[in-house]
Amino acid sequence: MISRMTSMGRTDLPPEQQAALRSAVRWVWFTIAYTCVTIALIALVVGGSQAMKTAWIEDMLSLIPQISFLIALLVIRRRPTRGFPYGLHRAMGVGHLVAGVALLAIGGSLAVESLIGLLRGEHPAIGTVELFGQTIWLGWLMVAVMSVIVVGPFFYGHAKAKIAPILHNKVLYADADMAKADWTTTVASIVGVLGIGIGWWWLDGAAALFISAGIVWDGWRNARSAVLDLMDQRARTHDDAAPHPLADRIVQLLRSQPWVAEASVRMRDMGQVFHVEAFVVPRRGGVRLARVEAARSQIAGLDWKVQDVVVIPVVELPEETRGKERP
């Protein structure tokens, strides 16, 4: 459906990004299929363990970022219009926010549920099933299912983590990060079930609390990152670790122009592309239109992400674009 996507808004994607996007879409669909299978498998054995139930709901929640990624892709490919002059790139950020808030809310309610269960001293019950004429404790089947499904997230987690920086896609990056840490959830649910097995009923609630705390943490990180970008924070790298280096490169490019005395930039992250406002103080109090246009197209030539560029001649650089970043 999205396999022939070659542009995002006004941005024509270079071949590397086109390939990465196709690969990302394939991995997202694979994740959805894999997760549906694990949800169905866990449903067969979920039983009375709070840790299993929490891990199960986490699996369902992990579908939200996948689906919001696919929906956002359908939206952001549209070209800017009179009604949406910046394009529809923010759809990715909205999807990111929705996923983050969902994780935060449901993770929080699961944490409270686990905590109440622990405080009330609720002993989890796990019975048996009759399988091929044998009576088997359901806990063994839970451990078996969780041991089998633990492998998947390693594959798609690492694959997406490689693709996300190429596309500068924070939804994909956060999703990969969660998938890579997913084994802790699986191991915790196994520990919880084995805890019930040896009669340490509280281990199940403790494991559930651990898993739900992980969901809350993921939700907080995702929601925070999405909100900061939607509030037009200075554009940062895909992992939010540092200000994006493109801003400095643009400033250097402008300063190297003979007609420019001073330059600075205001750059915001629209989703996977940036919106750039570059300010220049011309040397002789005047500037030729052709030079501004040349500078603009040189900036656009730096990177596929910076196609929406305006170069503004000013008398003095705006205060907020100069100096060091204040927290």
Q: Cβ of residue 179: shortest distance to another protein, in angstroms?
A: 13
Is 196 an interacting residue with respect to another protein (CB under 8 A)? yes
Beta bridge partners of 189: none
Nearer to another protein, 143 or 167 (CB): 143
Q: Which is nearer to another protein, 15 or 121 (CB)?
A: 121
Nearest approach, Cβ of residue 124 and another protein (Å)? 6
Contact 320, 263 (CB under 8 A): no
Among 32, 105, 144, 187, binds another protein (CB under 8 A): 187
Give strand pairing partners of 266: 277
Shorter beta-carbon distance to another protein: residue 132 or 316: 132
Q: Smaller CB distance to another protein: residue 191 or 265?
A: 191
Is residue 122 close enough to count as binding another protein by CB under 8 A?
A: yes
Among the listed ranges 74-82, 121-129, 217-225, 241-249, the one in contact with another protein (CB under 8 A) is: 121-129
Smallest gap from residue 180 Cβ to another protein (A): 9
Interface positions, 8-37, toward another protein (CB under 8 A): none
Site for another protein (CB under 8 A): which residue of 124, 205, 282, 313?
124
HEC string of the chain equals CCCCCCEECCEECCHHHHHHHHHHHHHHHHHHHHHHHHHHHHHHHCCCCHHHHHHHHHHHHCHHHHHHHHHHHHHHCCCCCCCCCCCCCHHHHHHHHHHHHHHHHHHHHHHHHHHHHHHHCCCCCCCEEEECCEEEEHHHHHHHHHHHHCCHHHHHHHHHHHHHHHHCCHHHHHHHHHHHCHHHHHHHHHHHHHHHHCCCHHHHHHHHHHHHHHHHHHHHHHHHHHHHHHCCCECECCCCCCECHHHHHHHHHHHCCCCEEEEEEEEEECCCCEEEEEEEEECCCCCCHHHHHHHHHHHHHHCCCCCEEEEEECCCCCHHHCCCCCC
Q: How far is the CB of 127 from another protein (least distance, A)?
A: 5
Binding mask 34-53 for another protein (x = CB under 8 A): --------------x-----
Would you say 184 or 297 has its CB closer to another protein?
Answer: 184
Q: By CB under 8 A, is residue 199 in contact with another protein?
A: yes
Min separation Cβ 142 and another protein, Å: 11
Instruction: Give CA–CA dist 21/24, Å, rounded.
Output: 5
Choose which of 6, 44, 127, 158 interacts with another protein (CB under 8 A).
Answer: 127
- Exactly one of 12, 116, 123, 320 binds another protein (CB under 8 A); that residue is 123
State the Cα–Cα distance between residues 150 and 187, nearest whole angstrom: 8
Asked whether position 201 contacts another protein by CB under 8 A, the answer is yes
Measured CA to CA, the distance from residue 79 to residue 10 in angstroms comes to 6
- Binding span for another protein by CB under 8 A among 76-84, 116-124, 220-228, 250-258: 116-124
Residues between 128 and 157 with contacts to another protein, criterion CB under 8 A: 128-130, 135, 137, 139-140, 154
If one asks whether residue 198 binds another protein (CB under 8 A), the answer comes out as yes
The footprint of another protein (CB under 8 A) covers 48, 122-130, 135, 137, 139-140, 154, 183-184, 187, 190-191, 194, 196-201
